[in-house]
Structure 1
Amino acid sequence: MSRLFYFLGAIAMLFVTDRASAQSHVESSQYASELFLRHELESDGQPFSTTADDQLVQQTGAYTVACWDCDDSVDCGDTVGNNAAKKPNPCANSHKDLFFNNDFSYLNDPYYQGHCLGDRLKLMTIGEDGRWGTLDIGGQQRLRYHHERGMGQQAGATRFEPTTNDFVLTRTRLYGNWQVNECVRFYTEGIYAADGANSEYIPRPIDRNFGDFLNAFVDLKLLESTTLRVGRQELLYGNQRLISPLDWANTRRTFEGAKVMIKTGDWETDIFYTHYVPVLPNELDRADYDQPFYGCYLSYSGFENFTVQPYYIGYDNNNPPIVGSGGPIAGSGDFSLHTFGIRINGGIDDWLFEMEGGPQLGRQSALGVNQEAGFCTCGIGRSLGSQLPWSPTLWGYYDYASGNAPGGDFNRFNQLFPLAHKYLGFVDAVQRSNIQSPNMLLTMKPTEKINLLFWYYHFMANQADDIVPSIGGTPPQSLTRKDFGDELDVLAKYQWGPRSNIILGWSHLWRGDKILAPTDADFVYSQWELDF
């Protein structure tokens, strides 16, 4: 409870301080919209390229909303002097997927006269004339409502059984970024996550964390091109298919260890060695030193129309496996995996493309066999904004991840630590494992403030005699059938303010004959989010 009071008190002080130091006038502004779905819902129908900590935020057009406390003489986002034309409000894109990548450099612009909530607590100088650097303080508040049918989470029930749950998830994140000088930086970020639900609902492990640290690290610039990061840190690579902080979860995912970041010319290279940090809701989280997670991720941007990202990821789990009625459960412990992959994405004119995949080798020691698996995603898209109203973008994808064939090596792909919710259906009934899925994605922008998403999937098992694992409770399945089902996801996002949005979503999964449970799954949800 003391940790709850700490977080609530801190956020209250931030709002009071910010409002007291700001002026009271509110003006309208034109500013660029953010990428369609932020974090795990993030997808405007175009692939984006990123290495560990550099996020690409697309500007998809200008729109008008109320801004916080603009100066009386100049609208939010306006400039003065020789550049009097109105410009997009830069504070709308200041917060990134990883908050330690936030960019508040626009506050140093002498022509910038706007103000957004929290700006007064950014780039605050420490010591006389800033001799001890600058400090940023801020965070995020999020509230989400779920109505779930047929998604389990009740005693004695799995997915696709007649269960109904209604609950609310709340999350507060607070961060402090101290840039001492060009060579030294300290960053810390805390989280408080809670739920309120009907009495039958069994909370998921990703629902609760009653006060903890997501990040607590120091950056040391060793050379002009090389930075060392040591401590607890979130990881995000590529399009988050294998490594992600999992922002959809009410808790987020983090690791503890060291990372070297090198930038030379068109190359960016991250080399990391960390340990996974599981969530302990009622006590401070601790790194699990029996789960080392390590690798090397590269990105080359020297080509005109596309980016290439080769990588290697290693993951060991030395914990004892879970033992079921048939013996040790594959992938639950006692294994060592090595995943080699490459991602290529880009576009030519209105055509877009993305490809990612590679083999996964290693040892399933608990089963006494080697691991030999693989995955692949191929997508091609077309932006139709110049031809049709509402700026639609249409994508066609095909997702594949190997399943296990009886006898010989173990072939079921392990999806590692992904943002699984973003892909293969928002119902979360499918992991990137023993799956084949042709799917279509359509995004549109009917107004300057509203974005729409429609995503349709057909799910098939790669191996009929293997299960298709779900996220949080795999339902009973036929071992002679491949048809897992079909899913439609519909989502609308309303950009309420420069740093605030509202999301409404509905998803339905029509089960196929591989699923032996009796009902389909429905998922309705709404979310409000504010960065500051």
Structure 2
Amino acid sequence: MKSPLAFLGLAAAAFAADAPPAWQPEFNVRLRVESREQNFTFNRAVASPTDDTWLLTRVRLGLKGKLSDALSLYAQAQDSRELGSDRPGVPYILGAEGDDPLDLRQLHVDFKAGDATVRVGRQLLAFGDERLVGPVDWNNLARSFDAARVTWPKVGGGLDAFVGSVVQMQPTSQTGWHANHSSADDIFAGVYSRFAASDTLKVEPYVFWRHKKNDTLYSVAGAGTARPYDVPQKVATLGLRWTGGPPEKLDGVDYDGELAWQTGETRGRQQVGAAFVFPGPAWIDHAAWALHAGVGFTTKAPGLPLRLYGEFNYATGDRNPADAKTQSFLNLFPTNHKFYGGMDVFAWKNLREFALMASATFSKQTKARLEHHVFDLANTNDTWFRANAVTPVRALTPAARAAPGRAGQETDLVISHALNARVAFDFGFSYFAAGRYLAQTGGASDARFAYAQTVLQW
């Protein structure tokens, strides 16, 4: 998977000519302007390169081919860039998307063998509502895996087994990066199942295993540093997700939830000066859990369907960073932008959150959603983690450990409009009111985030 140039030539030829029915080209362009203020420092007194406005561009060119009744192929190239930003152009550092000029995001073959389908190659993994495993498509780089996966669609509501390694960023020069590398030092495997307990209740038991031996390929010292995924670990995650509905069968009510428990070992923290940082020098015991529970109600108001939804999210935090065990839940490979506020300042890790949401459908083309989130740290002896579940908002100092757990409250408004099947627009605004935790650990300025996005596809 060194270069997608040959694939691009094949796809371009398919666009230029009348492609046979067995070959289907795809094209997707996304443009997003973002404006952020105090999203990282929460301190107006600090001149931060993250308080800025920039343009994110992403182009994807795909080609789907049916080689026979039992064999198909899919390939997708991606070009991602961040323009007009003062942030360093290093992916994941200070929240930067960075530039990945041209890479192969997907390239896999599917084999049908009886009732099973085997997929081998670079691919997306997404399970449940993506709280633990998803392609994080909001991010300009997104995520894929080099993996093998077997799907049995007729076992219950579907059964998947997989093993693979996440594709990571790799430096090619001082300013160049490519998402074109996976490593045997970071193996991720699992089994995900789906069953219908009744006509209104579906359950999804699963087990995941991650064995990450070493740190990621690069690390940049300084504030805002983030390794792309997480610390070295040998951790099993056992979980159960459930969904109830549709609302038409439950007098307008729907509900969902997920419970996950983890056991194993991780490379914990080490003390550097007054603060605790990760990873630590030794393997320590890991035991953690997380919970999501939500309930919704859809009104029958004529002409303007309205859905109200409330949820509670919890994930354990470490009780003592200096001992030989940790309770800090590992969020694995999530799509967190969908869940914990549009500003991306929280993950399903050391979190206690209550949220209320209202969504309205004005027409087939236009929708709006209003959310309010109340965030607390589950334990102030652990770090406040951003949406990538790795980057700390504040250093874990004695002041942070003694601070109140109230991190803040966030209000989000998102308006979506589909012009037609090929063109869509999104507009969003988020406001974060800083809480007492920020006030006692440094600056406590309120934060703002706004974006406008256009997607073109065919």
- 1:403 is paired with a residue whose SS is coil
Match of 2:57 among 170, 179, 192: 170
Partner of 1:512: 435
- 1:264 is paired with a residue whose SS is coil
CA–CA distance in 2 between the matches of 1:312 and 1:244?
Answer: 15
- 1:415 is paired with a residue whose SS is coil
Compute the displacement of 1:471 (Å). 3.5
Partner of 1:431: 347
CA 267–448 in structure 1, closer or farther in 2 if over 3 Å, else same:
closer
Compute the displacement of 1:377 (Å). 0.2
CA–CA distance in 1 between the matches of 2:57 and 2:180?
Answer: 19
Partner of 2:190: 295
Are 1:139 and 1:173, in contact at CA under 8 Å, matched by a contact in 2? yes
Are 2:167 and 2:179, in contact at CA under 8 Å, matched by a contact in 1? no
The residue correspondences of 1:47-446 to structure 2 (distance < 5 A) are: 121=19, 124-125=20-21, 134-152=22-40, 158=41, 160=43, 162=46, 163=48, 164-200=51-87, 202=89, 204-205=91-92, 206-223=97-114, 225-264=115-154, 266-280=156-170, 282-283=177-178, 285-301=180-196, 303-320=198-215, 332-347=230-245, 348-365=250-267, 366-384=281-299, 386-387=300-301, 389-406=303-320, 407=323, 409-446=325-362
Consecutive unaligned residues of structure 2, counting only runs of 5 or more, are 171-175, 268-280
The residue correspondences of 1:19-58 to structure 2 (distance < 5 A) are: none
Compute the displacement of 1:267 (Å). 3.2
CA–CA distance in 1 between the matches of 2:220 and 2:139?
Answer: 27
Compute the displacement of 1:263 (Å). 2.0
Aligned residue pairs total: 409
Compute the displacement of 1:11 (Å). 8.2
CA 410–324 in structure 1, closer or farther in 2 if over 3 Å, else same:
farther
- For 2:77, give the aligned amino acid: G
Asked if 1:463 is matched to 2:361, the reply is no
Compute the displacement of 1:272 (Å). 0.2
- For 1:232, give the aligned amino acid: R
Compute the displacement of 1:349 (Å). 3.1
CA–CA distance in 2 between the matches of 1:339 and 1:499?
Answer: 39
Partner of 2:274: none
CA–CA distance in 2 between the matches of 1:493 and 1:11?
Answer: 30
Compute the displacement of 1:339 (Å). 0.5
- 2:288 is paired with a residue whose SS is strand
Asked if 1:474 is matched to 2:392, the reply is yes
Q: Deviations over 1:224-272 (max 9, x none)?
A: x111111111111110100011100111201112111112253311000
Compute the displacement of 1:10 (Å). 8.3
- For 1:188, give the aligned amino acid: A
Compute the displacement of 1:409 (Å). 2.3
Are 1:4 and 1:192, in contact at CA under 8 Å, matched by a contact in 2? no
CA–CA distance in 1 between the matches of 2:169 and 2:113?
Answer: 32
CA–CA distance in 2 between the matches of 1:192 and 1:7?
Answer: 14
- For 2:106, give the aligned amino acid: N
Compute the displacement of 1:511 (Å). 1.2
- For 1:512, give the aligned amino acid: G
CA 180–159 in structure 1, closer or farther in 2 if over 3 Å, else same:
farther
CA 12–146 in structure 1, closer or farther in 2 if over 3 Å, else same:
farther
Q: Deviations over 1:448-498 (max 9, x none)?
A: 421001111000011122221113642226212200100011000011111
Compute the displacement of 1:139 (Å). 2.2
Compute the displacement of 1:6 (Å). 8.7
CA–CA distance in 1 between the matches of 2:284 and 2:293?
Answer: 30
Q: Deviations over 1:395-437 (max 9, x none)?
A: 0000000000014520000100000111111111111111000
CA–CA distance in 1 between the matches of 2:407 and 2:152?
Answer: 43
Compute the displacement of 1:315 (Å). 1.1
User: Which of 360-369 and 247-256 deviates more?
Assistant: 360-369
Compute the displacement of 1:353 (Å). 0.2
CA 6–522 in structure 1, closer or farther in 2 if over 3 Å, else same:
farther
CA–CA distance in 1 between the matches of 2:87 and 2:239?
Answer: 42
Give the alignment's TM-score, normalised by structure 1.
0.71
CA–CA distance in 2 between the matches of 1:369 and 1:323?
Answer: 25
RMSD across aligned positions (CA): 2.8
Compute the displacement of 1:7 (Å). 9.5
CA 193–266 in structure 1, closer or farther in 2 if over 3 Å, else same:
same
CA 394–409 in structure 1, closer or farther in 2 if over 3 Å, else same:
same
More strand by share: 2
- For 1:136, give the aligned amino acid: Q
CA 249–323 in structure 1, closer or farther in 2 if over 3 Å, else same:
closer
CA–CA distance in 2 between the matches of 1:260 and 1:242?
Answer: 19
- For 2:381, give the aligned amino acid: D
- 2:146 is paired with a residue whose SS is strand
- For 2:125, give the aligned amino acid: L
Q: Deviations over 1:193-252 (max 9, x none)?
A: 1110244565543443211111111111122x1111111111111101000111001112
Are 1:240 and 1:419, in contact at CA under 8 Å, matched by a contact in 2? yes
CA 374–350 in structure 1, closer or farther in 2 if over 3 Å, else same:
same
- 2:39 is paired with a residue whose SS is coil
Are 1:7 and 1:192, in contact at CA under 8 Å, matched by a contact in 2? no
Partner of 1:128: none
Are 1:159 and 1:475, in contact at CA under 8 Å, matched by a contact in 2? no
